[in-house]
Amino acid sequence: MATTEGFCADGFEPVRDALEKQLESGEELGASICVTVDGEPVVDIWGGHTDQDRTTPWTEDTIVNVFSITKTMTALSALLLVDRGLLDLDEKVAHYWPEFAANGKADIEIRHLLSHTSGVSGWERPMELADIYDHDSAVARLASQAPWWEPGTASGYHALNYGHLVGEVIRRIDGRTLGRFFADELAGPLGADFHIGTGPEYFARIAPLVPPPAVEFDMATLDQDSILVKTLTCPLLDYERTSDPEWRQAEIGAVNGHGNARSIARLQSIVSGGGVLDGKTWLSPDTVDAIFRQQADGIDLGILTPLRFGIGYGLPHAQTAPAVPDGRVCWWAGVGGSFVVNDLDRGITFAYAMNRMAPGLIGSDRADAYLGAAFGAVA
């Protein structure tokens, strides 16, 4: 059996067993899992390797690109401003960012950005991946274009531009970029090794991603003007580019956060703790309640998957995320399998980060196995 490092509190050994089983089978290359209860870690384990030749061990301090888990950090940053009375979820985006009112977007509200219901789920063509590294240019283009559907009527996953939209609002209010605000107000104070915009000093600790097998389909058969195609191809996310220094250092608050399970769980324990962590109130009860204001429930227009969205997070969905428990729970996943769940009923945060990507857009069999073991231990 493959071995892992770190610790599991009594009763949580099935989580370690599940990770060791996946490592032994070869399904998992390298990964970390962390579970907190009332803000305190009860599982903090890691194992495997950072390279496909299995010559470099995954260590306590290994970090990895966790894709859309980054969105939960962007949302948490916005919720801090909500709690301070500087951002109103029901205010128009253009109140903070006047240029955004162009082309029929004057009535889009902040809650629409945070719940993927704004109608602006991507950029108009032409748009290359490198173009999103230039925040000023990318947000100017978003401000000038029209929504692709009636805002507020449905979700359309803001796959790559979520952090540009929410981050620009944060910058208009606070003056700092999203990555700087997040580092100064959250990651730094909490000692969390998570970065939106990852400097070269961290590169040696980053585990390169192993992309999933390519999905073979004929793009020509798809409606090129559909919300699905425009959302996922304007621009197209190229996994091979995620090792480029330019990708790592850009502040892409939708998809290029780098961290590990420990840092994810540390930060998101603010939410599972009802806004309180380490004896400090980070978010008031009213702000935490706002997360659970359902904004959409149905087939998402951007990825054609059934989803429920609150403010900044997904809400439990038996079909799309069967391993996520019901109740006062919010969650999200990164493409390839990374996962975070905040269970406020039980004060639990679960976090998982890995480098071998599984196929599909949301979750994986591996993530479900670890979730099942973690929540089974507290059932």
| CATH assignment at residue 100 | 3.40.710.10
The tokens for 369 are: 């196995």
The number of distinct structural domains making up the chain is: 1
Q: What share of the chain is helix, strand, coil (3-state, %, to 5)?
A: 35, 20, 45
- Asked if residue 142 lies in contact with residue 123, where contact means CB atoms within 8 angstroms, the answer is yes
The tokens for 355 are: 């480098």
Q: What is the CA radius of gyration of the chain?
A: 19
Strand partners, 35: 43, 350
Residue in the block written with tokens 């009375």:
85
Residue in the block written with tokens 């480029």:
244
- Averaged pLDDT in 10-residue chunks for the chain of 379 residues: 90 98 97 98 98 97 98 98 98 98 98 98 96 98 98 98 98 98 98 98 98 74 88 94 98 98 99 98 98 98 97 97 97 98 98 96 96 94
The tokens for 133 are: 């590294």
pLDDT at 246: 98
- Asked if residue 25 lies in contact with residue 79, where contact means CB atoms within 8 angstroms, the answer is no
Backbone angles phi and psi of 127, in degrees to 5: -150, 120
pLDDT at 268: 99
- The three-state secondary structure class of 32 is strand
Outline where DSSP puts E strands in the chain.
4-8, 30-37, 40-48, 64-65, 258-259, 276-277, 280-281, 296-299, 306-309, 329-333, 339-343, 348-354
- Asked if residue 297 lies in contact with residue 61, where contact means CB atoms within 8 angstroms, the answer is no
- Asked if residue 349 lies in contact with residue 271, where contact means CB atoms within 8 angstroms, the answer is yes
- Give the side-chain half-sphere CA count within 13 A for 197: 19
pTM above 0.95, yes or no: yes
- Asked if residue 341 lies in contact with residue 329, where contact means CB atoms within 8 angstroms, the answer is yes
In the chain, count of helices (H) and strands (E)? 13, 12
pLDDT at 214: 78
| Residue numbers of the domain that contains 336 | 4-377
- Asked if residue 172 lies in contact with residue 130, where contact means CB atoms within 8 angstroms, the answer is no
Burial (CB count within 10 angstroms: exposed 0-12, middle 13-18, buried 19+), residue 319: exposed
Burial (CB count within 10 angstroms: exposed 0-12, middle 13-18, buried 19+), residue 90: exposed
Distance separating alpha carbons of residues 271 and 281, to the nearest angstrom: 11
- Burial profile 198-215: b = 16 or more Cβ within 10 angstroms, e = fewer: beeeeeebbbbbbebeee
Cβ neighbours around 122 below 10 Å, total: 24
Tell whether the torsion through CA atoms of 207, 31, 179 and 241 is positive or negative: positive
**C-alpha 199 chain-centroid distance:** 19
End-to-end CA separation in angstroms for the chain: 27
Tell whether the torsion through CA atoms of 42, 341, 181 and 61 is positive or negative: positive
